[in-house]
A = this chain, B = another copy of it.
Amino acid sequence: MSDSIIKRLLRAIATVFSVSLLFVGNASADIPDELYEALGVDKYKASPKELYEAITERYYDPAQGHGEGKYAEYWEPLPFSQYLDPYTYYSPPAQPAKVATREECIECHEDETRGWVHAWRKSVHANLDEIRDLPKDDSRYYKKKLIKEVEKNLRSMGKLEKNENLKEVSCIDCHVGVGAEKGHHNQDLRLPDAAVCGICHLQQFAERESERDTLTWPDTDVKGNKIDPVWPPGRPSHALDYQANVDLATWAAMEDREVADGCTMCHINQNRCDTCHTRHQFSAVEARKPDACGNCHNGADHNEYENYLMSKHGTTYLMLGDTWDWEVPLKDAIAENGQTAPTCAFCHMEYKGRFGHNVVRKVRWAFNPQEKIANNLEHEWYEYRNEAWIETCTNCHSATFAESYLEFVDNGIISGLKKQLEAKQIVEALYEDGLLPGQKTNRPAPPKPEHDAPGEFFQLFIAKGNNPTAVELQYAKMWEQDLLKHYKALAHVNPGFWTYTEGWGPLLERYTNIQDANTQLRAFAKLKAQVATLEGDVKAAKLLDLDSQVERAVVGGLGGGMVLAGVGLVAWRRKQKTEG
C-alpha cells in the first residue's frame, strides 16, 4: 500500500469517527473541525452560546473582513448602501417616532408594506405549530427537529427559559431582538445580518462561517517548494464575499458608484442570509432551486446558471422538476424527492456524503483558471478535492465516468489557459514596446487606489482616453470572462457553450483580434519609422519643410478625448449620501 493510500485511509477513518460523534456534543453536527480549531472552541464541550459568541466576534472584526475594508478613504457609501451592509450603514427612519409592540408591527405593515406581512404569513416563522403537528410522512417533518435545535440554542443564549418553547418568530424578533415585546421604531429597528439569523440558526451560520477555515490554499508545490497561495485564506467564498468586494482596488477606484454597487449587490452573502432565502418567506424550497443561485451566478464571468440550465442536468430540471418534491432536505433529494438530475445545491453543498452551508470544500479552480493551479493539480490538496468530487458524481454516475470526465474538464481548462497566456505575452510586449494606440499621448492613469498596467481587471470597468486600448480590453475579456466561461461550461457539462457559444469560441476570436492588432500596430509603427527616416534624410537634404499646419488640422480635433464630458451635464445632480 502506497503512502498516499494509507494517508487517505486514515483520513477516511477520521471522517467516520468524527461523524459518529456528531450527535454527541452540542452544536457540533456537521460543522467542520477547522472552524473549531480556528476559533479555539471545544467542539464537544462548548455550549451553543460559546460557539455563537466566538463566531460572532470574528464575524464583526474589521481586521478579519467586516465592514468598509482597507480602501474606505477612497469611496463614499450611497443612501442605498444601508441595505448592502446594514450593520455599518443602516439607521431607522425618523418617522414614525413611536414605540411599537410586537402586534403593532404586523397591524401597521399589513397596510404599509403588505408584501412583508403576506410573505411572512407563508413562512415557517409564522407557522411553528403547523410544523410541530406534521405527521412523520410529511416531507417537512425534519423541520420539527430544526425547531427544537433553535430552541436549544435560544435556551443556551438565555432567550428562552429552560422549558419554554418558541411561540412565534415575528417581525420584532429579528428587527429588534428575539423575544422583545416592543421597540422604538426610530431607534431600535435593525436590518438583520447573518449574525442575527445565526442566533437561532447557529448550525447553518457556523457552516457558512467555516468557509473561512476550510479553504486554505496550499503554500507548497508538488515538490514541496514554497509558493504563494493562489488566494488568501477563506477566499473566494460566500463567507468573505463582501470583503472581497470592498478590498478590491478597482471597486474602490470607480467613480460611478452605482456601477460599482452592481458588484456589491451580489457580494453581500457575508452580510445577509436573504440572498438565498428571500425575505420574508425564507423558503428552503426556493433556496434548493437553481434559480436561487442563478440570481447572482450568471453572466459575464460566472455564467454557472446558464451552463447548468443548458446542460443535461439543467434541462432535466426544467422538464421534470415540477414533479419533484422540493420540501425534502437535500440528503433525500434522490431517494425521496425523485430528482433525476442534480441541482446547484445538491452538488455544491455536499461533501463526503453530507450536506451543509459550506459550499467551498471541493473548490479547485475557484474563481479563475491560473498557471499556479494548473501546475499544482497533482498536489494532494487538489487531488483530495478531486476525489471528493468523484464521490459526489457517483450519486448518479460510475466512478470511471466521473474520473474520466473530471480529467476531461481539467484538460479542457488548460487548453483555454494556454491560449490566454499566449495572448498575454503579445499584449505585454506591445505595452513594453510602447506601441499601444495613444500609449504615449493619451493614457490617463486610473483613479486611486488602482494602478496602471496592461490588460488589467480595472479596464473592464474604468475607461478614459486610450486607457484601456482596444487590444488590452480584448485581452482583459479573454482572461476574465471567456476563460472563466470556458471553465464553467466544462465544469457544468454544457458542451455547446465551452466549444462554441461561450468559452473557446470567444477566446479564439479575441486571440485572433490580438494577433491581428499586434501585426497591424507593428506594421504601422514600422511604416511610421520609415517615414520618419525618410523625412530626416530628405530634410537633411533640405528638400522638406514639415507643414505643421497639416498635422494640427488632422490630429487636433478630438484626438485627446480628454477635454470632453460634463458639458451640459452640470445640472445633473449626483446625490450624495443623505444624513438620515
28 contacts between A and B (CB under 8 A): A80-B405, A83-B401, A113-B397, A113-B398, A115-B396, A116-B396, A122-B338, A258-B409, A278-B316, A278-B340, A291-B315, A295-B311, A298-B310, A298-B496, A299-B496, A407-B575, A418-B565, A425-B558, A433-B553, A461-B508, A522-B554, A523-B528, A526-B551, A530-B531, A531-B534, A534-B534, A538-B538, A543-B543
Interface pair A512/B415, CB less than 8 Å apart: no
In whole angstroms, what is the CA distance A426 to B263 when docked? 29
The 8 A-B residue pairs with the shortest CB-CB distance in the complex, in nearest-first order: A262-B499, A115-B396, A258-B412, A299-B501, A265-B495, A256-B415, A79-B404, A470-B516
Contact of A421 among B419, B435, B511, B569 (CB under 8 A): B569
With A299-B497, A315-B292, A500-B262: A519-B340 Cβ-Cβ less than 8 Å: no
Partner of A554, one of B115, B435, B543: B435
| Contact of A490 with B396 at beta-carbon distance under 8 Å, contacts A437-B516, A527-B531 already known | no
Q: Is A520 an interface residue (CB 8 A)?
A: yes
Which residues of B sit under 8 angstroms from A265, Cβ to Cβ?
A: 495
Instruction: Please give the number of chain A residues whose Cβ is less than 8 angstroms from any Cβ of chain B in the complex.
Output: 171
| Contact A322 B322, CB 8 Å, known A113-B394, A554-B526 | yes
A226 within 8 A of B: no
How far in angstroms is the closest Cβ of chain B from A290? 9
| Contact present for B371 and A504 (CB under 8 Å) | no
Q: Which of A129-137, A209-217, A235-243, A279-287 is the interface stretch?
A: A279-287
- Any B CB within 8 A of the CB of A40: no
Looking at the assembled complex, report how far the CB atom of A477 sits from the nearest CB atom of chain B, in whole angstroms: 8
Q: Within 8 Å CB of A300, what residues of B?
A: 496, 500-501, 505
Nearest B residue (CB) for A460: B505
A183 at the interface (CB under 8 A from B): no
Q: Which residues of B contact A57 (CB under 8 A)?
A: none
Known: A340-B281, A537-B543. A499 touches B426 (CB 8 A): no
Q: State how many angstroms separate the Cβ of A282 from the closest Cβ of chain B.
A: 10
Q: Which residues of B contact A417 (CB under 8 A)?
A: 569
Selected from B83, B93, B334, B497, the residue in CB contact (under 8 A) with A118 is B334
A156 CA to B544 CA, complexed, in Å: 92
User: Bound complex: CA of A335 vs CA of B320, how far in Å?
Assistant: 23
- B residues in contact with A80, CB < 8 Å: 404-405, 407-408
CA gap between A531 and B155 in the complex, in Å:
87
Instruction: Specify the chain B residue showing the minimal Cβ separation from A321.
Output: B322
Among A299, A512, A531, which residue has the most Cβ atoms of chain B within 10 A?
A512
A286 touches B316 (CB 8 A): yes
A516 to B520, CA, bound (A): 13
Q: Does A374 contact B (CB under 8 A)?
A: yes
| A345 CB to nearest B CB, Å | 12
Among the interface residues A258, A286, A374, A543, which one has the most CB atoms of the partner chain B within 10 A? A258
Q: Roughly how many angstroms separate A573 CA and B410 CA in the complex, as a whole number?
A: 10
| Bound CA span A335–B310, Å | 31
- Copies of this protein in the assembly total 3
A461 touches B334 (CB 8 A): no
Answer whether residue A149 sits at the interface, using C-beta atoms and an 8 A cutoff: no
Q: Mark interface residues in A359-403 (1 if CB within 8 Å of B CB, else 0).
A: 000000000000100110110000000000000001111111101
* CB-nearest residue of chain B to A288: B319
Q: Contacts A404-B80, A508-B461, A513-B470 known; A524 to B523 CB distance under 8 Å?
A: yes
How far apart are the CA atoms of A318 and B285 in the complex, in Å? 12
- Which residue of chain B has the shortest Cβ distance to A571 in the bound complex? B375
CB within 8 Å of B: which A345-369 residues: none
Check if A559 sits within 8 Å of B114, measured CB to CB.
Answer: no
Assess whether A128 is interfacial by the CB under 8 Å rule: no
Residues of B contacting A257 in the complex (Cβ-Cβ under 8 angstroms): 411
Residues of B within 8 Å of A262, CB to CB, are 412, 495-496, 498-500, 504
A325 touches B (CB below 8 Å): no
Instruction: Answer yes or no: A572 CB below 8 A from chain B CBs.
Output: yes
How far, in angstroms, from A257 to B82 measured CA to CA in the complex?
50
A131 to chain B, nearest CB (A): 17
How far apart are the CA atoms of A412 and B82 in the complex, in Å?
17
Known contacts: A112-B394, A496-B298. The answer to whether A425 contacts B534 by CB under 8 A is: no
Give me 10 other A-B pairs in contact (C-beta within 8 A), A371-B568, A527-B527 excluded: A113-B395, A115-B396, A266-B495, A278-B340, A374-B569, A418-B569, A422-B565, A461-B505, A524-B527, A538-B538
